[in-house]
Structure 1
């Protein structure tokens, strides 16, 4: 049932991408605003309480719903799994930016590529070169593939029903919505949301990095992961970018133009400078990694069936 739900959800999402802002982010933002209004006094304790009420509560509720539906009929439980995965997972949630940037660079439309990258990352890239645009797009795609697909899949497989997918998606949302806020009136309310997601993403990020390594240049991917990931400001992002860069044989990181200034960043990866060709190779790497994970699930399912 787990493998079938994943495959069907991925197929549906490819055929009809979910309007994520309307059906996922907007409702979650309303919940977030309500929790902030009721509980935020700037203290860490209330932030932890609010995180638990929303995320642990929703995770348990989805697990209970799955168990009840399973007792009624397995097909109902399968449909529930697919529906939740459709809401929590998907390549297409951000990949349209990557595809449009790739096409713009192929057509020599650098200004359009810069604009699209700025919309995607929420930053200004008016002075970025074509290589910088390709670099940043590849980095964003590697992180996005993990957060939108591999991380969700990991927890979906690990916990009963769709509860793992719910746990990971909600934890990610509140880490971004609360954990990144630094305004004084917000205080340390979002500190636990940030730390909680780091805990949940510790193992899935490393599983994704291993998948990137196997699907690409394994030796270079492991070398970059071991020697370069720690240089990145965000440890988990560093692991994903370093393993992906090594697997692709491309140099990422390095200084970039942002809001008219040069932002200094460490060099990650080995090989050639990023361009549109490496963007195409990134798509192949992500898909090979996903197929690898699905094949592993198939083998585990067969082994379980044979062992009965």
Structure 2
């Protein structure tokens, strides 16, 4: 089978598996990588950039070496790798569960669910804060959990899929600007920024094009992206969150409380504060963008030589 056809088919089959089965609740390979990376950190940690660079090189390099061997499995390997790294179905399910709990007025249950979506401190958030946090997480993780791995898989096959997931996982683990990880996590955060530069913008473009599906307009989504994305401290999260805010006609950003401290995020969009129904609309947008991303990625893989 032609390599491009095999890769495209593997991406489509793996995406279908994610839609049907979602992430395995136990023995997930990504969780296994996280455990191994945490153990490695015990050996490599130092409050210095060079230690973080070594940690990133060893952790991601090991995954790439494994992926290069696994890629010999052709279509089956690509299918399984795609299913392993995607998290779109689980993301949408968590978003809907959060909306259900907020609609039921069960704030405690909603707070318990938030850590599955993002790293913010749920104990200080009310219903509106939980809705905003979940919506912003849906926007960002649509890119991180689906669009980015699919695009990397399209251009680099199994190594692209697994390597991207390793980079993104390390950023989630140590890419914080707190006292412990400010220097050690620098390499992980910057590598993740580079890996997501193109995927975030593809996500933004898909959000602009698909805005009418959630009652928005491409013009509003594009305007929010162009006016507000650059205000965000992340070169990538700003793009996907601003375009989502514009598509939904809501306002995101503001004081954001993490476990390591608070950040004052810039305002994205010019609409009202998000409500529970907006969170449901964000989930629908996420699922539409995911479908668009797998179509684009499969087409891109077919162009490989």
Pair in the same fold by TM > 0.5: yes
| Structure 1, gaps ≥5 residues long | 70-76
By how many angstroms is 1:118 displaced? 5.5
By how many angstroms is 1:19 displaced? 3.0
2:3 aligns with: none
Q: Deviations over 1:90-123 (max 9, x none)?
A: 2134443312111123334344334433664344
The question of whether the paired residues in 2 share the 8 Å contact of 1:220 and 1:270 is answered with no
1:51 aligns with: 56
1:164 maps onto 2:123 in alignment? no
**Which of 10, 14, 17 matches 1:9?**
14
1:103 maps onto 2:108 in alignment? no
By how many angstroms is 1:169 displaced? 0.4
By how many angstroms is 1:191 displaced? 1.9
Aligned counterparts, 1:262-273, within 5 A: 264-273=264-273
> Aligned equivalents of 1:301 and 1:47: distance in 2?
33
Q: Which has the larger radius of gyration?
A: 1
> Aligned equivalents of 1:20 and 1:191: distance in 2?
30
The question of whether the paired residues in 2 share the 8 Å contact of 1:20 and 1:93 is answered with no
Task: Determine helix, strand or coil for the equivalent of 1:121.
Answer: coil
**Which of 192, 199, 215 matches 2:194?**
199
**Which of 189, 198, 201 matches 2:184?**
189
The question of whether the paired residues in 2 share the 8 Å contact of 1:209 and 1:239 is answered with yes
> Aligned equivalents of 1:37 and 1:27: distance in 2?
16
> Aligned equivalents of 1:224 and 1:11: distance in 2?
32
What is the TM-score when the length of structure 1 is the normalising length?
A: 0.82
Structure ranking higher on relative contact order (CA contacts 8 Å, 6+ apart):
2
Task: Determine helix, strand or coil for the equivalent of 1:267.
Answer: strand
The question of whether the paired residues in 2 share the 8 Å contact of 1:224 and 1:268 is answered with yes
Residues 41 and 212 (structure 1 numbering): CA distance in 2 closer, same or farther, change over 3 Å? same
Q: Deviations over 1:146-174 (max 9, x none)?
A: 11101111111111x21111111000111
1:133 aligns with: 130
> Aligned equivalents of 1:292 and 1:168: distance in 2?
19
1:281 aligns with: 281
Task: Determine helix, strand or coil for the equivalent of 2:28.
Answer: helix
The question of whether the paired residues in 1 share the 8 Å contact of 2:7 and 2:301 is answered with no
Query: In terms of mean alpha carbon deviation, does 227-236 or 291-300 score higher?
Result: 291-300
1:73 aligns with: none
The question of whether the paired residues in 1 share the 8 Å contact of 2:63 and 2:162 is answered with yes
Computed over aligned residues only, the root mean square deviation of the Cα atoms, in angstroms, reads: 3.0
1:142 aligns with: 139
What is the TM-score when the length of structure 2 is the normalising length?
A: 0.83
1:33 aligns with: 38
Q: Deviations over 1:16-62 (max 9, x none)?
A: 22236632344223322343233334432243233223313422441
Task: Determine helix, strand or coil for the equivalent of 1:250.
Answer: coil
> Aligned equivalents of 1:155 and 1:96: distance in 2?
24
> Aligned equivalents of 1:230 and 1:213: distance in 2?
17
The question of whether the paired residues in 2 share the 8 Å contact of 1:18 and 1:93 is answered with yes
How many residue pairs were aligned?
294
Query: In terms of mean alpha carbon deviation, does 92-101 or 109-118 score higher?
Result: 109-118
> Aligned equivalents of 2:15 and 2:301: distance in 1?
19
**Which of 169, 172, 178 matches 2:174?**
178
